[in-house]
Amino acid sequence: MTDDAELRERTKRTARLLFHSLKSGVGFETWKRFDRMLARQLSMFFTGTLYSREVLSQKQRELCAVASLTVLYRPRELHAHIHAALNVGATRPEVAGVLEERGEPFPAEER
């Protein structure tokens, strides 16, 4: 298998693992409607390269993503990564605990 074919397969496998519980039209599908090549490049980089690394477990990585996206107030991305965290073994109490660490789920000025 070529490096590109391996990356494509790793991207698909990681995307299924993380985001299978989301309905179509979220994330990759949205980017694809905008620009197919850009969507492919973003997906190959984020899902195929970053999210498939094994330095952290998928559960640890997704809980970090939930924390970061909460602080940055990115509700759409947060929704996707809460699903991803649950899909890779995080429990609802663990996700809630990460959200609670912020003190408030979202900055007051953004509500």
CA distance 22 to 15: 11
* 81 shares a domain with 42: no
DSSP letter string, 88-99: TT--HHHHHHHH
pLDDT value, residue 38: 86
* 45 shares a domain with 2: yes
Mean pLDDT, 10 residues at a time, over the chain (111 residues)? 83 85 69 82 84 90 94 90 95 95 61 50
- Extract the tokens encoding 13: 């496998």
pLDDT value, residue 45: 85
Q: What is the pTM of this model?
A: 0.75
* 88 shares a domain with 43: no
* 91 shares a domain with 107: yes
Domain total for the chain? 2
* 61 shares a domain with 42: no
Q: Which domain holds residue 97?
A: 57-111
pLDDT value, residue 90: 98
* 69 shares a domain with 26: no
Expressed in angstroms, the distance from the first to the final Cα of the chain is 49
- CA 43, 90, 16, 7 dihedral sign is positive
Which backbone phi and psi does 27 adopt, to 5 degrees?
65, -110
